[in-house]
Each structure stands twice: as C-alpha cells, then as structure tokens.
Structure 1
Amino acid sequence: MDDNTPNPDVLPVLVLGVSLDRPGHRPAYNGLKVLSRLRERGYEPGYLAGDLAYNNSEPEEWQLRVRALGYKPVYDYRVDQLGKQAETQGAILVEGTWYCPSMPEPLIDATKDLHAERIDRGTWIRLIAARKPYRLMPKENEDAEGHQRVMCPAEAGKAQCPIKPHTLNRGIHLPLVDPEPSPIGPVKVCRQRSITLAPAEGAKHWQVLDFGGAEWQKVYFRLRNSVESYNGYAKNPLAEGIEASGTRRIRGIAAQTVLLVFQLAHANRRKIKNWVETLALDGRRPRRRTHHRRRTKPIGSWTPTGYLKPTG
C-alpha cells in the first residue's frame, strides 16, 4: 500500500488442512485427501505446487486426480527428469510442456546443461525464452474429459516449417524449423494442422506453465517459499515449536495429529492477529510498526564498474 502497510485484501499464508503420516510415506494419498476435503468445503482450486515427492508419484495416484479436482500443477524436477520426458504423435514433452519435435537440441537440453555447468544462468534464461515459438498452441479448451486439441506452432503462426510450405516466407522474426529427414515421412503432428492430447499422455510431468519462464518462476517460488516460510514460523521454539517432539508428549499418529492441529490452529491465529495489527483501517494508524522501504541503493547493486541499474 502507499502508506507502507499490508494490503487488507491479501491474506497471510495459513494452513487449511493437515494429514499426518511417516516422513515421505504416501505423499500423494495424504495430499489428495487434504485437497479433496478443501474442495468439498468450497475452496476454489488454483495453482498447486509441492516438493519433488509429489510429481514423482504415479499419475493415477496424484497428477491426474489433482487435475480432475481443478488444480493447475506447477512442478520442479529432479536432475534425471530434465529435458525430453515423453512423446506422443511426434510431439515431445520437455519439462512439462508439449513442443514441436524439431525443437533444437540446445533448447531441449538447456536445463540439463545448466545443472552440468556447461552454460551460465543468463544463457539458460535466453534458451528457455527461445523455446516459446516451438510450443504447441491450444486450438480449443479442454473438454469435460480433459482432452484438448493443440496446433502445430507453424500452423499457429509462431514458426515456419518446410514440411508445410504455406507457413514459409512469413519474416525472419519467426524461427525456421529444421525437421530431421525420415524414411517413413513426417510424424502425425507435422502432417496435420492439429492433434488431440489425452490427459494421460505425459501426465507424470505435465504442468500448466512453461518451466523456467517468468510466470513459472513467479508462481512456483511464491508457493514454495510460502510453505517453507510457514514451516519456519510454526517451528519457532518461542511459539508453537512444532518441530520439538516434547511439545506433544503422547504416542500414536491419531493423538499426534490432534495435538498438531491445535498447534497449527494457534499458529494461524497468531499470524492473523499479527497481520491485523499492521493494517491501517478506517484511517487509524496500525498498532504494530511495519517495515519501511529503504530508498537507498542496496549493496548488491554495486559492481566494480559502478552501480548496476535494475533491468525490471
């Protein structure tokens, strides 16, 4: 807000559901149980992120079921899951998004190369952005069963392809696809204007946003940071201290769950109270002092050659 107080329309991060189990045991089952109950209580589904245990589950247990509930998954991947992940009708799934099969190898392997330190982060960002013209474009919205018609990027006017001569000579601003010759002819996605993608195709790794892109970074890291921030908040030894077993001196998962729920409810209440006290409501000053934005240049903005102006 202009007065440097929080926006009263943006609520703090809270815990809305709990399912307790052994560490790393049945993450898909427990996660789906919480999400289903939230859906039953009227909470609208939105973007959904979790740690690597969730998108390493079987699609029938997690990925397909959360999509059926209306959630839009946003994933990160293990090192061995990067690059090309699946293929259907000639189209390739690269880090959660369907692309033209002739997308250049440096673009396909960009994140692998980043992890292997063959490229720097700036190069990786440019390569990720360069994938966009090769992306299969939606022709229609998903139907009730989750099937969707998507168009070849050349047919959608995002690229040029010699297999489809009518897409050529559109200008040098569009990339020219270089399909690999095949004795059996073009694959289906190259022969047709569009193809139908079934929800089960590439379901294990598919996600709604382009991996590594600006929107993905904004959504994924905001969700993950919110989770980790709340964990640290509730583990505060001067408050709920949920990490300390001594705060729940009773045996059994059922009993532990009940006590943990009370602790998290108290953490929620404490967070809401602290948030309310920082609001400037009805023209009154907030009860708690908020952090003021500094107008000076941060130390990280200076380089040996002078001040580095923000690019954003």
Structure 2
Amino acid sequence: MPVVVGNEVKAERTANFGELSPGPVDAFAGWHVKSGKGERTDNQKGVIDQTAPERGKWANYDWGWVANLAVRVDAEEPGSKRFPSLVVAASLSIPNMEVAEEATRLLEAAATLELAPGIADADKQYWANAKPFRLLKPALKIGFTPSTDYRTDRVGVKGGKHGGLFVEGDVYCPSTPEPLLHATPNLLGDVIDIETHRARLEERKAYRLHVKQKANADGKTKLRCPALGPSPTVTCPLREMMLSAAKKNRPQVEQKTLEEDFLDTIGKKHSASFGLTEMQAPQQAFDYGSQEWEIFHDHARNTVESESQQLKASGDEDIATAGRRRVRGIAAAQIIVTLLIVNHNLRKIAAFLSDQAKERARTAPRTDTLRRRDRVWANRYTKTTGK
C-alpha cells in the first residue's frame, strides 16, 4: 500500500483529514517497476529483470496504472509515412498483472478496424517473455505474426523436437555447424562483430527445415529435412537426390555427425510435425537479426515510443499528469484517457493531411493564371468591362 493511501486510511480512522496531502488517491492500482534508466519490466517487486537477467534487481517504482497502446506502423515500407501513425487500440491496466493478456486484447481490438492483421512488433517484455499460450497462440489465431528481440537467455539452441533444433524462432538440421548455431550468443558476448553475425545467419538459412505443410488450426506445421523436396538447400549422404539437384553447389552435411544426429524422425522420414508454440523463441515474420528485421523492428519501436512521448508531453494531451483526469477509479480514468487519445489521433490526421497538401503544392507544376481583378473588371469612367 502506498504511503498516501495509508495516510488516507489513518485519517478516516482518526477523523483528522487535515493531515492528508492534496490530490486524488486510489488504492485500486499497483507498483509500476522502473529501472534507474527509466526502462520498464514486468516483474513483481524485488524480482530480477526477466528480459536481461544479468542486470540484477530493480529499485525504482511508481504507484498507479499503465496505459497499453497499439500503434499502426508500416511493415512494407518502414519510415515511408504513407499513413499517419495512429493509436488504434488502448487500455488501462494495473502494472504487472496480465501483461500478455492486455496485449492480446489490443490485437483483438485492432483487428476490428477492418485493417488486415499483419505483423505485431513489441519489446522483449511481450513475445520474448510471455508463455506461448498467453500471447503467441491467441495472436496467431487472430492473424498476427510476431516481430521481436529475444531475451539474452533464449538465444542460440534452446531445445528441439524430432531431431530438429530450435534456434531463435526456426527449426534447424541437427548437423548445422556449431558456429552458425551460436552466432547470436557470440555476438552478444563480443566474440564476433555484427557483419560476421549477419553473414553466419545468412549461411545458416541453408540448414533451416523446409515447410512441407502450413500450420493448421492447432498451430501444427509439417517440416522436412533441408536435403529433401524440389528445392533442397544442403546435400546429405543419407538422402537420395536427383542427379541434376546433386550437381548444384550447396553446403555439405558432415559425414561424421550423421550416426549420432540423424537418428530421429527428421532424418528418417519425409517430414515431422512441429508446433509453433513449442519453441521458447517465437517464429517471426522476418529472419531474426537480418537487416530487414532490424529496419522494421527499429521503425516499429521508435514509432511506438514517439507516440508515447507525444501523449505524455505537456501542452497537448499530457496523459501522464493526474490533473488531466480528475476522476476516481480506473473505469473513469479509462474514459478520460480514451478522449485524450482520440484528440491525439485527430491532431495526427490533421497534420498528415496538411503535410500532404503542402507537398502537393510544392511539387505541382506552376501555371501562370490571370488574376481575377485582371480577368473581371469594370471601368466606371469608360463604361467598359474585361473579357
């Protein structure tokens, strides 16, 4: 219980209301955990940060509610400004409670706006931290594909099934070279640089299991060995391939690893069934760590943070100031916050249309037109008029 709430309870018991500090007090709220740098996390008080365990414990807290925002971003042309970045869904919630579920509700609300569900980007507190059944599974059901960074303890090889290895959202051949499997941990450990990391990720694609059958309603998909199918990407002594395909230059699976690795389903049969929610790291819309992924992820995160800062900025909505919503209770505050966000969206739409009009005026070809006073005039002395 925060001090101000404790003072209110004490004042009610003693009937001495003069000791109360001015301002509304609401006990139906929670501690919002913050770091010294102002970063957020979904932890209970005193718990180690789950997105980066090595950071240690967090010490700074705020009492109140949190606003959850879903902002429309451009996945096809990041940063092109083809449409205004509007808040398409928002809610208030108690900190540290049902964070993944709140994100799911935002996706459900966004899907009702007749916008086709696409890519949903979020920071490491959501896709990278929540259990699959809380966020990933319902998001896939709605039609959204995740885009996210990963927790530091969930990169590299994290389990597997049927002989396939789970690595950062994809399933790989068990004979994938070790340097390729550990490319991201080596980057985070300053063993390799970013150029080497991207080169290894590009090389690793050849060992990724191929999709034989897309995911069904239960989220199960059939994958096959990368040495099989009409377009194999590796050569393997255990797989019989057409002569024309075998002549192509592609990575060779090492013979010495076959006996111990190629004994499971993925090495014996034509395909194996995998659940998209079985991996700790969710499968993403873009190849994790690629330049395409980085461009979109940075664009999405910067857009959301920009919208958040604009909503908090004084002079306009100033949503973070309690004086802008002098009401008691989370339901009443939700109504006020909704009105402020609507006003924010209207300003963004007006600014977008104004910028478009200015751009059209700037790029439109100049035409010399005769002024109206020169086209239509009347000389009261000569009794003549213009044509």
TM above 0.5: yes
Q: Provide the residue aligned with 2:234 in structure 1.
A: 159
Q: Provide the residue aligned with 2:201 in structure 1.
A: 128
- Candidates 249, 261, 274, aligned match of 2:351: 274
After TM superposition, the score normalised by the length of structure 1 is 0.81
The alignment partner of 2:333 has SS state of helix
Q: Provide the residue aligned with 1:19 in structure 2.
A: 91
The alignment partner of 1:180 has SS state of helix
- Candidates 144, 167, 181, aligned match of 1:71: 144
Q: Is the 8 A contact 1:19 1:31 kept in 2?
A: no
- Candidates 114, 125, 130, aligned match of 1:42: 114
2:324 pairs with 1:247: yes
Deviations 1:167-201 (A, max 9, x none): 79835731111262546962211112222223443
Alignment of 1:135-174 (within 5 A): 135-156=208-229, 157-166=232-241, 170-171=246-247, 173-174=249-250
Moved more, 56-65 or 40-49: 40-49
Q: Which runs of 5+ in 2 are unaligned?
A: 1-78, 364-387
The alignment partner of 1:61 has SS state of coil
Q: Provide the residue aligned with 2:309 in structure 1.
A: 232
Deviation at 1:283, TM superposition (A): 5.3
Change (3 A) 1:184 1:280: closer
The alignment partner of 2:286 has SS state of coil
In the alignment, the residues of structure 1 paired with residue 155 and residue 260 of structure 2 have an alpha-carbon distance, to the nearest angstrom, of 29
Change (3 A) 1:252 1:232: same
Deviations 1:211-262 (A, max 9, x none): 1123322332222222112112222222212233332233322122111111
Q: Is the 8 A contact 2:104 2:139 kept in 1?
A: yes
The alignment partner of 1:29 has SS state of helix
Q: Is the 8 A contact 1:160 1:175 kept in 2?
A: yes
Change (3 A) 1:268 1:140: same
Q: Provide the residue aligned with 1:256 in structure 2.
A: 333
Deviations 1:10-53 (A, max 9, x none): 21111011111123431111111122233244332100111112
Alignment of 1:114-125 (within 5 A): 114-125=187-198
Name the aligned partner's letter for residue 113 of structure 1. Answer: N
Hey, which of these two has a bigger chunk of strand by percent?
2
Q: Provide the residue aligned with 1:104 in structure 2.
A: 177
The alignment partner of 2:109 has SS state of helix
Q: Which has the higher contact order (CA 8 A, sep 6+)?
A: 1
In the alignment, the residues of structure 2 paired with residue 272 and residue 38 of structure 1 have an alpha-carbon distance, to the nearest angstrom, of 18
Name the aligned partner's letter for residue 107 of structure 1. Answer: L
Change (3 A) 1:282 1:77: closer
In the alignment, the residues of structure 2 paired with residue 29 and residue 187 of structure 1 have an alpha-carbon distance, to the nearest angstrom, of 37
Change (3 A) 1:165 1:252: same
After TM superposition, the score normalised by the length of structure 2 is 0.66
Number of aligned residue pairs: give it.
280
2:241 pairs with 1:180: no
Change (3 A) 1:181 1:135: closer
In the alignment, the residues of structure 2 paired with residue 108 and residue 191 of structure 1 have an alpha-carbon distance, to the nearest angstrom, of 22
In the alignment, the residues of structure 2 paired with residue 191 and residue 133 of structure 1 have an alpha-carbon distance, to the nearest angstrom, of 19
Q: Is the 8 A contact 2:163 2:262 kept in 1?
A: no
Change (3 A) 1:183 1:216: closer
Moved more, 185-194 or 244-253: 244-253
Q: Provide the residue aligned with 1:195 in structure 2.
A: 272
Change (3 A) 1:181 1:149: closer
Change (3 A) 1:223 1:282: closer
Runs of 4+ in structure 1 displaced over 6 angstroms? none
Change (3 A) 1:89 1:278: same
Moved more, 115-124 or 157-166: 157-166
State the percentage of identical aligned residues.
30
Hey, which of these two has a bigger chunk of helix by percent?
2
In the alignment, the residues of structure 2 paired with residue 161 and residue 14 of structure 1 have an alpha-carbon distance, to the nearest angstrom, of 50
In the alignment, the residues of structure 2 paired with residue 256 and residue 280 of structure 1 have an alpha-carbon distance, to the nearest angstrom, of 36
In the alignment, the residues of structure 2 paired with residue 184 and residue 119 of structure 1 have an alpha-carbon distance, to the nearest angstrom, of 27
Q: Provide the residue aligned with 2:287 in structure 1.
A: 210
